[in-house]
């Protein structure tokens, strides 16, 4: 099981390196941005975008996973379509070949820097303290969800130097989660925050497989009364929690909010509408379950599952009934009481 966890960590760091490569040059460099097609876009946004970094980061992560576990190659799914600007992105056999492909879309210097990131060595130190006493995992029953750069709007603003304080690049996350194809249950999750601590980054991971519950070390803040919501959440819901003594905070990025819950920086995150997707929640779900929490439907209060038919359209991967993510069961009991009022 350590090998699959290490592979997902390495894949997340490949994606993180691609994201960071976009900040190494001048702010005047053109970051290719494309509007998503109907059916591909998040319905929450009037206009939804992806960048060449989103697509390349996803393909770099996908290639890393397939290299270590070829049997999983056809079961790796992600947020982004691999086509952008009329070009289908893939990781070629060499840096030079990937650079040549990317150069059809961006300036050669940018293409080379991004290609080098996509082909970068996996050595990074994030795997140095992984547990070594874990049982094997049945990879023949696994599927993978990838969100290569969550909070794309914040990423674009950050790369261009146009983000407000406490927004932009620190809100960007890479989310990679494994689930059982037979049941849809999330089992391994990795959240990578590439731009944390001046781009040194940090990673949270969790395993919830059978009777194994393990997670990365993190300082918890027990008993806090912070609940995270989108700025577009229904006012009556946030009002209920404020009246009950909760501190309601709106911060960007679903992955960013879920990371805060997983690390105990917030007690919960609520979305009453269908604005998150399987790729947003699979990785955090595993971590929360490993730590005694959960991620459930807002409407039915049943756990989200991830083994959707691979032929489904993008919108069918939506968590259409909303979500409640929480760090432990006592928090969920409080949330139920507040919502029932």
Q: Residue 124: is its pLDDT beyond 90?
A: no
The number of beta carbons lying within 10 Å of the beta carbon of residue 198 is 6
Q: What is the pLDDT of residues 256-286, one digit of tens each?
A: 999 999 999 999 999 999 999 999 999 999 9
Q: Report pLDDT for 45.
A: 43
Q: How confident is the model at residue 85 (pLDDT cuts 50, 70, 90)?
A: confident
3-state secondary structure of 66: helix
Where are the domain boundaries for CATH 3.40.190.80 in the chain?
226-340
Q: What is the pLDDT of residues 169-198, one digit of tens each?
A: 999 999 999 999 999 999 999 999 999 999
Q: How far apart are CA 116 and CA 37, in angstroms?
A: 29
Q: How far apart are CA 113 and CA 133, in angstroms?
A: 38
Would you say 32 and 149 are in contact if contact means Cβ atoms under 8 Å apart?
A: no
Q: Report pLDDT for 30.
A: 64
Q: How far apart are CA 25 and CA 145, in angstroms?
A: 30
Joined tokens for residue 304: 């989200």
Q: How confident is the model at residue 219 (pLDDT cuts 50, 70, 90)?
A: low
**Pairing between β-strand 202-209 and β-strand 186-193 as defined by DSSP bridges:** antiparallel
Q: How far apart are CA 149 and CA 17, in angstroms?
A: 11
Q: Residue 47: is its pLDDT beyond 50?
A: no
Where are the domain boundaries for CATH 3.30.540.10 in the chain?
2-215
Architecture of domain 226-340: 3-Layer(aba) Sandwich (3.40)
Q: Residue 41: is its pLDDT beyond 50?
A: no
Chain-centroid distance, C-alpha 284: 8
Would you say 148 and 166 are in contact if contact means Cβ atoms under 8 Å apart?
A: no
Architecture of domain 2-215: 2-Layer Sandwich (3.30)
Q: Report pLDDT for 37.
A: 52
Q: Residue 15: is its pLDDT beyond 90?
A: yes
Q: Report pLDDT for 298.
A: 98
Residue closest to 272 by CA, chosen among 196, 336, 324: 324
pTM: 0.93
Q: How far apart are CA 246 and CA 263, in angstroms?
A: 18
């Amino acid at each position: 099981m350590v090998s699959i966890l290490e592979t997902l960590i390495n894949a997340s760091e490949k994606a993180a390196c691609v994201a960071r490569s976009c900040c190494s040059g001048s702010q005047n460099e053109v970051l290719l941005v494309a509007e998503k097609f109907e059916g591909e876009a998040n319905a929450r946004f009037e206009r939804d975008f992806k960048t060449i970094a989103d697509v390349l980061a996803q393909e770099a992560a996908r290639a890393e996973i397939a290299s270590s576990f070829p049997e999983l190659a056809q079961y790796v799914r992600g947020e982004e379509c691999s086509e952008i600007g009329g070009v289908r992105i893939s990781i070629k056999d060499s840096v030079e070949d990937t650079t040549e492909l990317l150069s059809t879309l961006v300036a050669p210097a940018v293409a080379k820097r991004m290609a080098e990131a996509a082909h970068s060595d996996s050595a990074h130190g994030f795997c140095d303290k992984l547990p070594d006493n874990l049982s094997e995992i049945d990879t023949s029953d696994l599927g993978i969800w990838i969100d290569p750069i969550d909070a794309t709007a914040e990423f674009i603003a950050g790369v261009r130097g146009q983000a407000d304080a406490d927004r932009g690049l620190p809100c960007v996350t890479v989310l990679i989660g494994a689930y059982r194809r037979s049941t849809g249950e999330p089992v391994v999750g990795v959240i990578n925050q590439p731009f944390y601590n001046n781009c040194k980054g940090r990673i949270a991971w969790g395993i919830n497989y059978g009777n194994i519950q393990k997670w990365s070390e993190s300082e918890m803040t027990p008993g806090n009364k912070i609940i995270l919501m989108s700025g577009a959440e229904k006012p009556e819901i946030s009002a209920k929690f404020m009246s009950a003594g909760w501190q309601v905070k709106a911060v960007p990025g679903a992955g960013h909010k879920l990371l805060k819950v997983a690390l105990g920086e917030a007690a919960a995150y609520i979305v009453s509408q269908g604005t998150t997707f399987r790729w947003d929640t699979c990785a955090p779900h595993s971590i929360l379950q490993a730590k005694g929490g959960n991620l459930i439907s807002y409407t039915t209060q049943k756990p989200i599952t991830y083994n959707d038919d691979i032929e489904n359209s993008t919108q069918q991967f939506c968590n259409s009934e909303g979500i409640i993510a929480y760090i432990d069961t006592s928090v969920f009991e409080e949330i139920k009481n507040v919502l029932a009022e």
